[in-house]
Structure 1
Amino acid sequence: MALTAEVDSIAHELSSLDFHHPFTPYDVQNQFMQTVYQVLETGQGQVGILESPTGTGKSLSLICASLTWLRNHKATRQEAELQVAGESYKDEPAWIVEQLLSRKRQELLRQWEDREKRLASFRLREKIQEERSRKRRRVEDVSAAVETTADEDAEWLLDADDDDARQEDALSGLSKESREILEKIGLGGRMKQTDDEDILEEKIKIYYTSRTHSQLSQFITELRRPVFPSSLPPSVAKGSDVSSTEPVKLLPLSSRQKLCINPSVARLGSVQAINDRCTELQQAKSSTKCSFVPKEELLSQTHQFRDSALATLPDIEDLHLLGKSLSICPYYASRVALPGAEIITLPYPLLLQRSAREALGIKLEGNVVIIDEAHNILDAISNVHAAELQLSDLRRGRQMLGVYVKRFGKKLKGINRVNVGRVGRVIDGLSEWLEGALKLKNEHGIVDPNDLTRHKGIDQINIYELIQYIQESKLAYKIESYVAHVESEGENKKPGLSKAGTPVLHMLVSFLIALTNLGSEGRIFYQKTQGATADVKLTYLLLSPTHAFSSIASSARAVILAGGTMSPFQDYKDQLFPTLDNTKVTSLSCGHVIPAENLCVWTLASTNTESPPFEFSFKHRGNKEMMNQLGLAILNVCNIVPDGVVVFFPSYGYLDEIIAVWQQRQGGSSQTTWDRLQARKFVFRDTKGESSEEVLRDYSEAILGTRPAGDKHTGALLLSVVGGKMSEGINFSDRLGRCVMVVGLPYPNIASPDWKAKLEYIESTTEARLIKEGQSSSDATAQAKQAARDFYENACMRAVNQSIGRAIRHRGDYAAIILVDRRYGTPRIRNKLPGWIQNGLQQDSHEKGLGVLMGALGGFFRKKSQASSGSA
């Protein structure tokens, strides 16, 4: 009851709150920002699942809401701390209390002013450098010494035993050498920076993550637009001449692959090789230490990097260039800037893996986590924890190991010799099982992990210790880099050796880690693959993201999941926060910023009463009459819709089948459906395995480019696939997507081993949880089966909604959306469409047939044409 009253109070205050949006926000943006603010303000353990369609300014709304809250929260908290301090002296005379509080306020103001002046000087310096177009100093000329070694074998030879390197501490995600570096520059406990070099630590941070570095860069571009008030409490700012605004302190975090400035390391390419070589160059015994690693005697250089980063809202490229200009490693130096940052951006993997967070020094306790493009989050968690291994990989790995042992075998002593032998046994044992799997009757299936480890006595090896040895000794890197060296020198060249840059042994380590982490939430599958030679692949799949995400959900003050197409919402609650009380979960599906007359949404169940209904289920989709009627419907749409029409099909295979039917002559017709489509519009198609860039370029040119006189084409038709290359991340805005059609419901293959395992897992865990909560066995079983069906259906509808979202991309855009399948007429399916699509949907359209749809489309585009002519 108290929580409800608190929420109501917050909601009332939000109506008049200034979010410092750089433009006049739309109503839906205000609604979105108020919801984000309310989730953050309500308190610990809150979750927001928010949907705001593409084109509604979602990123800017997230920025304005979260940073407005952060500044207000900091000011309120500091004011409260001053009041508590005053109350602790309540027995003292009033003038003494006021003097003490005045001193505290002055100290707080002094620290704030010192930081802001220091950062302002760096911003001014950056501006001067830009105005003068000074070229930053490049480091390639400085690093020649890194290329040479005293002993030509030293780079690849395993080190002697070092027990100390196996000890763990608070920075266990890093190597011993990396930990020592961070300790020297003030992180890790051994040394503390001097007080006059300290930066004010931000006690509450916002961690913002998205899927790609490109999306993170776009977010940072948006972050440069708004201006936010100072975080000083009112009693401190009052009467002072300090600025009423305060620039945002941002730090982008990334991997060594993106930030390394040492040419000899960065050129290695793969993440694993770069990580291993980096730590290799930090070892005390190395004769070729990396010259860019932060040094204790050059703390001022590290602090200059820190202050420059916090002053300038850099993206990853800027941070990389800053490191080059100062000749200091941005990967390590950025850790020193972490305490002073208000908002930290990072890609999914660095947030979702506990070991990565620990290595980066990220502490989520009491902080805010914002996950953008969150419709990907369930798959992203699975992908981060997935592992694959092929028989061909193991065969290559065995040959590489043989080449390495032939060269260095006599120099291997003690534990090195034992563990290299163990790696060979593991490779041989797994290879033996996979060679047997080639003879199995089924093309794919589930693997019992005990069966994998019976061969060659793998089950007698302590896999945990072996993994730790491989990681700390850099065995995989040393073997692979030596083989790459042999190949580049042309020595001992043998067919089948790994090509340079293919991290075969690193893939083995990833799979062994998955093997040791197996539990009720994970499964191993095998899949035979066809090619020039028969091969078989092992795949580890995380069936549920709950446990992997639990450390984030339980630590953070609040978690915001935001995306353009989050519907249907229930999976995020069930899969990520299954035990969280419903009162702590806030869901919002925003409307679009476009006016209602810019959207035309229809469902099409059949062309007419005599034709078979459109139902593209597995049972009916082979009906050739239905395929031909679909072709007729698309042809009619192409006759009315100007410019671009995009049609999404359930799969590449089904698209091939339909095109084959359309290319056949029907009755006495001289033209096929395919011929008639090509006569009306230029036709393009998405092809599996091929690049989409060329198709998109030609499709765009056909619509936007100039055409010769007499050309009767009215634009272009693009045939694509739900979940394919065109269904996400591609903008079919304006003329490129005046109509989007979705054919059928693209359910995943329920007969595949991974989907069978997922659904069985959901069913069994849901039933166990419900029985534990006190439900009867029969009720629990029924609800568990329904939960599995919902999850399966929701996966389908998320893919549909993502495809639909390709059309409307900004306020002035307009488009028609046509859902072709009678099942789109059912309330169950319609309720899983985004709110803005449901609002624009003609409710009884599935009953009206093709003729009425054509009339509606004709009227819609005539009005748009007239409006365009009038405005011109």
Structure 2
Amino acid sequence: MEEIIERTRNIDFHHPFTPYDVQQQFMHTVYNVLEQGNGSIGILESPTGTGKSLSLICAALTWLRNYKKKTYEVSIDTAASSFKDEPDWVVEQLLKRKRAEIVDLWEERESNLRSIRAREAMMEEREKKRRRYGEANPNNPVKDPDIDEEEWLLDEQDDEDLPRFSNIGKEESSDDNDGDQVKVGIMALCNCIIMTNWKQIYYTSRTHSQLTQFISELRRPTFPPSVPDKFLKSHEDHEIEAVKHVPLSSRQRLCINPSVARLGSLSAINDRCSELQQSKSKDKCQFIPNANNLGQTHQFRDNVLATLPDIEDLHSLGKTFQVCPYYASRTAIPGAEVITLPYPLLLQTSARDALGIKLDGNVVIIDEAHNVMDAIANVYASEISLKDLVRARQLLEVYVKRFGKKLKGENRVMVGQVARVVDGLRTWMENALDIKADQGIIDPNVLLKHKGIDQINLFKLIDYVQGSKLAYKIEGYAAHIETEGGTKPTTPFSSTPVLHTLLSFLVSLSNLSSEGRIFYHKTNGKEHREIKLSYLLLSPAHAFSSIALKARAVILAGGTMSPFEDYTAHLFPNVASEKITTLSCGHVIPASNLCVWTLSSCQPKSNANRMEFEFSYQRRGDKTMIRELGLAILNICTAVPDGVVIFFPSYGYLEEVVRVWNETDGTQSASIWNKLQNKKAVFSEVKGSSSDDLLEQYSKAIMDEDTPATSTKPPSKACGALILSVVGGKMSEGINFSDRLGRCVVIVGLPYPNINSPDWKARIEYIESTTLKQLTECDAPRPRNEAVAAAKQAARDFYENACMRAVNQSIGRAIRHRNDYAAIVLIDRRFGTDRIKRKLPGWIQGGLVTGSENGGLGQMMSNLSGFFRSKQ
């Protein structure tokens, strides 16, 4: 680490505040990875509350501006070498002119953007005055176009008109159905951008709210010009250059055409939008960028580059200039320095192609990257139920009854093939209801043998359904006639239409490889049993390789990335180790603000009758151990003020523990549950319930002097609140238990996934087989017995790492800023083993009380009491 800092010691990262040491360390590491380039990978962990997003921005944009300056200087040096036979004074004059041209272009662009920003500020001020004096804006709603049955009729197609097949895994990927006219218009507009073709930063996170938070952080720092200082006539006049940023999103969030946006579901919006661009469409969308609205599109583009907008701003700009923000935003991409977008739009090749995203030589930053492997699997996952197939068959029958006689040639054949596929899958699923096992893996060849599905060219069928908008037309017609008939549509557009669901599943079925499996799952419904088929991607490496191989550098950043081994082994298996940089930052809090204790037993190690806590699947039902756990929690609630958050391995086990704590016998005056309620207001997370209401009640119990009516505590005795939650539940990620809300976080047991489930069996088998193949078929193969042992260990590590990532996420709910403080109690003897300790985040390892696993409840209480007394 010292070597990295030494290489970048003199760099000013333009942080808007005085950065902490851990922030300096983080920024130096990011800068070094980007500077190294050539496919470099950075896997960086910086705890929540350490200013990770701002550090990413400062490091990445400082590197980008420095890179631009170097590129300008190289262009001048190159020009100078081409004039080597000219006299020095001639060369100097030519170079002076070239520098002036660069600065003039740069100044012209910056001046235009400053003017736009000034105009935007003036309009905002004017709007504030309007609101202040109660003036309302005019409202001119656009009426939906009249519905015509011809909208739902399939166009006649010849074979040469059929679209080419493209992989469309999830909903977002169907955004690639853009009209050629739109692409040509956008390319023409992009050519108007001056000073482009720079390196760019693509930043992605899991949710739109996280992207919005990042954009607000992006507005904090200022950076110097990208033109070298020596090129500028007066540096004082050009101290800063505004960041150029473009947010990208799906049509669902950006569409401003009321008749399309009202459809609700992304798949329906995509299909209808694409249909309104076809040459045969009689009712083309008036907002699509074209020659008629070129001026508005230019204005939209320039406003985007001038104002650092978020998605809501982009939508508003589209309405203001009456131009589609989904398409018009692409015209701003070439001039952008930072492009933000949600996971699905970056992680899928077809979605990137649809948006015109070019990763070659650019920087990719993935934030909240602890779940990137799951995100990749989700993007490529698909699922369909028997209920979906029954509904799909009904829709087909309704459609064919109305339009069957008008369907000709290819349309008739393809609609018939869709019906056969539906009937074949339905037959298999109905027969599978008699299988004894409730879940398992399916051989796709067996799945396809019913109704002759294996004789159908699925690639051609998928291509047809996508290109003809069959799913949209059938779903849309059904919704139309149900609405016309005065009945509520049984499958509204607000949910994913079943034929689009079928299409996604067929794509998965046709793209099966060694990296994916098809599973069936049976459930007991209210009236009858249900069964569904799902596709699971077992390895993210191949899907992610298209990003890793093209990008100049990839940064994976998160608050809890530990353990790191999974990313190097399963996301970048073919990347040389010297290209991968890992960093686990400490916290910005002083060491005295954290107390981490491993409670292996209520009794110290010296006690011969010591019963150890081990909440493994085999032992967790021991009622004596559950009561001992209750005793430990009761004591923690006595020592810890305000809020205590406890995470259990599963909802089922949480319910079992609460049942035991409610039991009493003749020796007890009150149950453990009642005793807990006398200490604190007790709240419990329920599977499927709203986390917002629960969190509000919990917070109110802590922050208010009086107990709320919804609390379960006796007001005169209890102090603070206790919330019982689940690792992997709604409280374990994205919830902020800062300050008084989370003075202590308790982890009960290790939440290992169910290793006997079909999907985990498939994952373990896949890792073992691929690892064994790598070890026995490499240039220096291992002996068979050693390779087998290593492969099994690799699978065990992956399984355990999945557990520890979930634990680390839950731990990260506490301590959210520099002045925060909290205790963390890990209840299970296995937390005291070196193997598990190594997989905790570095800052947690640093806070572990040495030897705590050998102490008992008494020693823990002494430490906790002393810790919180020191904070009074």
> In the alignment, does 2:738 pair up with 1:742?
no
Provide the rounded CA distance (Å) in 1 between the counterparts of 2:650 and 2:243.
Answer: 46
User: Offset at 1:519?
Assistant: 0.3
Provide the rounded CA distance (Å) in 2 between the counterparts of 1:381 and 1:171.
Answer: 15
User: Offset at 1:749?
Assistant: 0.3
Closer/same/farther in 2, CA of residues 401 and 601 from structure 1, 3 Å limit: same
Q: Contact 1:49/1:560 (CA < 8 Å) preserved in 2? A: yes
Aligned to 2:711: none
User: Offset at 1:501?
Assistant: 4.0
Closer/same/farther in 2, CA of residues 81 and 498 from structure 1, 3 Å limit: closer
What letter corresponds to residue 692 of structure 1 in structure 2?
Answer: S
Closer/same/farther in 2, CA of residues 162 and 284 from structure 1, 3 Å limit: farther
**Structure 1 portions without partners, runs of 5+:** 1-6, 866-872
Aligned to 2:871: 864
**SS of 2:392 mapped into structure 1:** helix
Closer/same/farther in 2, CA of residues 36 and 177 from structure 1, 3 Å limit: closer
Provide the rounded CA distance (Å) in 2 between the counterparts of 1:301 and 1:57.
Answer: 38
**Could you give the per-residue CA deviations for residues 490-534 of structure 1, whole angstroms, max 9, x where no partner exists?**
27x699777874410000000000001100000000010111221
- The aligned runs of 1:37-56 (5 Å cut-off) are 37-56=31-50
**Could you give the per-residue CA deviations for residues 763-821 of structure 1, whole angstroms, max 9, x where no partner exists?**
11011011122222222111111110100000000000000000110011100000000
User: Offset at 1:181?
Assistant: 3.4
Aligned to 1:721: 726
Aligned to 1:651: 650
Provide the rounded CA distance (Å) in 2 between the counterparts of 1:488 and 1:523.
Answer: 39
- The aligned runs of 1:198-213 (5 Å cut-off) are 198-213=193-208
**SS of 2:151 mapped into structure 1:** coil
**Structure 2 portions without partners, runs of 5+:** 708-713
What letter corresponds to residue 671 of structure 1 in structure 2?
Answer: A
* Counterpart among 804, 807, 810 of residue 800 in structure 1: 807
Q: Contact 1:480/1:500 (CA < 8 Å) preserved in 2? A: no
Q: Contact 1:46/1:557 (CA < 8 Å) preserved in 2? A: yes
**Could you give the per-residue CA deviations for residues 150-171 of structure 1, whole angstroms, max 9, x where no partner exists?**
xx21211111216565456999
**SS of 1:178 mapped into structure 2:** coil
- The aligned runs of 1:230-245 (5 Å cut-off) are 230-237=225-232, 242-245=237-240
What letter corresponds to residue 307 of structure 1 in structure 2?
Answer: D
User: Offset at 1:98?
Assistant: 1.6
What letter corresponds to residue 41 of structure 1 in structure 2?
Answer: E
> In the alignment, does 2:736 pair up with 1:731?
yes
What letter corresponds to residue 634 of structure 2 in structure 1?
Answer: L
User: Offset at 1:11?
Assistant: 3.8
**SS of 1:766 mapped into structure 2:** helix
Provide the rounded CA distance (Å) in 1 between the counterparts of 2:258 and 2:302.
Answer: 25
What letter corresponds to residue 547 of structure 2 in structure 1?
Answer: I
User: Offset at 1:284?
Assistant: 2.0
Provide the rounded CA distance (Å) in 2 between the counterparts of 1:813 and 1:9.
Answer: 32
Aligned to 1:454: 449
Aligned to 2:283: 288
Q: Contact 1:175/1:472 (CA < 8 Å) preserved in 2? A: no
| RMSD of aligned residue pairs (Cα, Å) | 2.1
Closer/same/farther in 2, CA of residues 184 and 242 from structure 1, 3 Å limit: farther
**Could you give the per-residue CA deviations for residues 188-217 of structure 1, whole angstroms, max 9, x where no partner exists?**
xxx5777xx433214200000000000000
What letter corresponds to residue 703 of structure 2 in structure 1?
Answer: L
Aligned to 1:4: none
What letter corresponds to residue 113 of structure 2 in structure 1?
Answer: L
> In the alignment, does 2:796 pair up with 1:789?
yes
Provide the rounded CA distance (Å) in 2 between the counterparts of 1:611 and 1:664.
Answer: 23
**SS of 2:817 mapped into structure 1:** coil
Provide the rounded CA distance (Å) in 2 between the counterparts of 1:346 and 1:105.
Answer: 35
* Counterpart among 550, 558, 565 of residue 555 in structure 1: 550
Provide the rounded CA distance (Å) in 2 between the counterparts of 1:591 and 1:263.
Answer: 50
Aligned to 1:763: 768
Aligned to 2:710: none
**TM-score, normalising length: structure 2:** 0.95
Provide the rounded CA distance (Å) in 1 between the counterparts of 2:176 and 2:190.
Answer: 21
> In the alignment, does 2:157 pair up with 1:161?
yes
User: Offset at 1:78?
Assistant: 1.4
What letter corresponds to residue 587 of structure 2 in structure 1?
Answer: H
Aligned residues: 850
Provide the rounded CA distance (Å) in 1 between the counterparts of 2:167 and 2:726.
Answer: 45
Q: Contact 2:193/2:335 (CA < 8 Å) preserved in 1? A: no
- The aligned runs of 1:24-43 (5 Å cut-off) are 24-43=18-37
User: Offset at 1:90?
Assistant: 1.2
Q: Contact 2:225/2:240 (CA < 8 Å) preserved in 1? A: yes
> In the alignment, does 2:415 pair up with 1:420?
yes
- The aligned runs of 1:366-381 (5 Å cut-off) are 366-381=361-376
Closer/same/farther in 2, CA of residues 241 and 15 from structure 1, 3 Å limit: closer
**SS of 1:619 mapped into structure 2:** coil
Provide the rounded CA distance (Å) in 2 between the counterparts of 1:164 and 1:58.
Answer: 52
Aligned to 1:630: 629
* Counterpart among 87, 90, 93 of residue 87 in structure 2: 93
Closer/same/farther in 2, CA of residues 138 and 421 from structure 1, 3 Å limit: farther
Q: Contact 1:206/1:342 (CA < 8 Å) preserved in 2? A: yes
**SS of 1:690 mapped into structure 2:** coil
**SS of 1:344 mapped into structure 2:** strand
- The aligned runs of 1:122-271 (5 Å cut-off) are 122-133=116-127, 141=140, 143-144=142-143, 146-148=144-146, 152-161=148-157, 165-166=161-162, 178-187=178-187, 191=188, 197-237=192-232, 242-271=237-266
Q: Contact 1:369/1:556 (CA < 8 Å) preserved in 2? A: yes
What letter corresponds to residue 792 of structure 1 in structure 2?
Answer: Y
User: Offset at 1:175?
Assistant: 8.2
Q: Contact 1:738/1:814 (CA < 8 Å) preserved in 2? A: yes
What letter corresponds to residue 529 of structure 1 in structure 2?
Answer: T
Q: Contact 1:138/1:325 (CA < 8 Å) preserved in 2? A: no
Q: Contact 1:139/1:327 (CA < 8 Å) preserved in 2? A: no
State the identity %.
Answer: 62
Provide the rounded CA distance (Å) in 2 between the counterparts of 1:243 and 1:168.
Answer: 50
* Counterpart among 322, 328, 332 of residue 327 in structure 2: 332
Provide the rounded CA distance (Å) in 2 between the counterparts of 1:725 and 1:353.
Answer: 27
User: Offset at 1:265?
Assistant: 0.9
**Could you give the per-residue CA deviations for residues 298-353 of structure 1, whole angstroms, max 9, x where no partner exists?**
21211110000000000000000000000110000001101000000000000000
Closer/same/farther in 2, CA of residues 208 and 138 from structure 1, 3 Å limit: farther
**SS of 1:261 mapped into structure 2:** coil
**SS of 1:594 mapped into structure 2:** coil
Closer/same/farther in 2, CA of residues 703 and 203 from structure 1, 3 Å limit: same
> In the alignment, does 2:98 pair up with 1:104?
yes
